[in-house]
Structure 1
Amino acid sequence: MILESIVTTVSPEGRVNIAPMGPIVRPPSGDAAFPTFCLRPYEGSRTCGNLLDNGKAVIHVTDDVLLLARAAIGTIDPTGLVCQAEGASREHVRLVDCHRWFAIEVTHAGGTPPRHELVATCIAEGTVRPFFGFNRAKHAVIEAAILATRIGMIDSTQIKDELQRLAVPVQKTAGPDELAAFELVQKYIEQRMISPAEYLA
């Protein structure tokens, strides 16, 4: 199963990075109490660099799609958003507001750059508040945020068409946060839309 989540990592200089990621979740086996995770960060990203440096991260389950959208299109000031993860190291910094978090440590590094495959075990976890769930608008914002990270990789017409399709459930089922998140991603895509040929030129 791939989990749409927000991941926090810490640089050697102590800077916290907040980024969306879809790690593969593997159920607990044997005597293990927690699942294991496979993270697949791209070479050159802050998340990848931090993970390769110290092998530590915190994975968050959250329905805050506005935060996820902001994380997908740029860096976020972590001030007031994060705190120390209980029962973990100083490199494990979690979101103050989330549903559940998992502090992890990488145990095996593989994959072929530019995409790494980092297998990690959970060393601590916690529940902050109950998970209320996703509606169609939240799912649409997540898909739109993923599109924003694919600019220059897939055809611009495909991105535009998909964005128009995703606007329908947002218009029908969104609350204020979902509307703000979709508008944020939409403007980002419109401002940066270029064709793959132009991107590679």
Structure 2
Amino acid sequence: MIHETIVTTVSPGGKPHSAPMGVRHEGDTFILMPFLPSATFDNIVSTGCAVVNFTTDVRVFAGCVTGRRTWSTLPVHHVPCVRLADTLAHAELRLVSVGGDPQRPTLVMERVAMCTDAPFTGFNRAQAAVIEGAVLVSRLSMLPREKVESEIAYLSIAIDKTAGPSEQQAWQWLMEAVDVFYVRSAATAQVFPEEAL
């Protein structure tokens, strides 16, 4: 099973970094597989630690894929790292090994602490829709426009029916990113028409 999380790391100079990442874990072993290049990968290899944040604040997922990477953090106690200030729970991890594919390495990490930070108040369909929308936005250059538009139309139903203010804001950021991507794509196509290639 893959859990959609926010991984927080710090640079060797102490600068926090947040990134959405699907994480596998069983017991005390966590597997992270970032695509390179990756600030998350660089930070973990440099510092030997990370924090996996379990949050329902989907603005963080949408924000990270639309260029909004600065989120409030707090120090943690078992590794030299930080967690999101607004998270339900977090796992503090130490790096055990690095291996796998050179384009998408496997980071095997050991959980040294698991902390509950806030109560879980239930599932919300709009939150799931925002996470799926964030995945779409992160892959706009790889997916056909028709597929993106079809997925957005379906996900919009959950947004319209169940979103609160946070989910609406996150969805707006994602839709703005989609619009900007296709405007830029159209402008590039005009500059380099297919017949000229």
How far is the alpha carbon of 1:55 from its aligned partner?
2.5
Partner SS state of residue 4, structure 1: strand
- Write the distance in 2 (CA, Å) between the matches of 1:140 and 1:75: 19
Answer yes or no: is the 8 Å Cα contact 1:104–1:121 preserved in 2: yes
Match of 1:168 in 2: 157
Answer yes or no: is the 8 Å Cα contact 1:63–1:133 preserved in 2: no
Q: What letter is aligned with 1:164?
A: A
Residue 55 (structure 2) pairs with residue 55 (structure 1): no
How far is the alpha carbon of 1:13 from its aligned partner?
1.9
Answer yes or no: is the 8 Å Cα contact 1:22–1:39 preserved in 2: yes
Q: Identity over aligned residues, as a percent?
A: 35
Unaligned runs of 5+ in 2: 190-196
Which segment drifts farther, 122-131 or 139-148? 122-131
Q: Which has the higher helix share?
A: 2
Paired residue total: 187
Residue 176 (structure 2) pairs with residue 187 (structure 1): yes
Residue 75 (structure 2) pairs with residue 84 (structure 1): yes
Partner SS state of residue 58, structure 1: strand
- Write the distance in 1 (CA, Å) between the matches of 2:127 and 2:54: 13
Match of 1:149 in 2: 138
How far is the alpha carbon of 1:75 from its aligned partner?
4.1
- Write the distance in 1 (CA, Å) between the matches of 2:129 and 2:45: 32
Q: What letter is aligned with 2:50?
A: A
Residue 30 (structure 2) pairs with residue 37 (structure 1): yes
Partner SS state of residue 42, structure 2: helix
Match of 2:90 in 1: 101
Q: What letter is aligned with 1:162?
A: E
Q: CA RMSD in A?
A: 1.9
Unaligned runs of 5+ in 1: 29-34
How far is the alpha carbon of 1:4 from its aligned partner?
0.7
- Write the distance in 1 (CA, Å) between the matches of 2:49 and 2:142: 29
Q: What letter is aligned with 2:6?
A: I
Give the number of the structure whose alpha-carbon radius of gyration is greater.
2
- Write the distance in 2 (CA, Å) between the matches of 1:133 and 1:119: 30
Q: What letter is aligned with 1:8?
A: T
Match of 1:24 in 2: 24
Q: What letter is aligned with 1:42?
A: F
Answer yes or no: is the 8 Å Cα contact 2:79–2:93 preserved in 1: no
TM-score by length of 1: 0.87
Q: What letter is aligned with 1:61?
A: F
- Write the distance in 1 (CA, Å) between the matches of 2:138 and 2:108: 23
Deviation per residue, 1:73-115 (Å, 9 max, x gap): 224224xx111102x232x211122111001012121111211
TM-score by length of 2: 0.88
- Write the distance in 2 (CA, Å) between the matches of 1:168 and 1:55: 42
- Write the distance in 2 (CA, Å) between the matches of 1:36 and 1:133: 26
Residue 2 (structure 2) pairs with residue 2 (structure 1): yes
Partner SS state of residue 2, structure 2: coil
Q: What letter is aligned with 1:19?
A: A
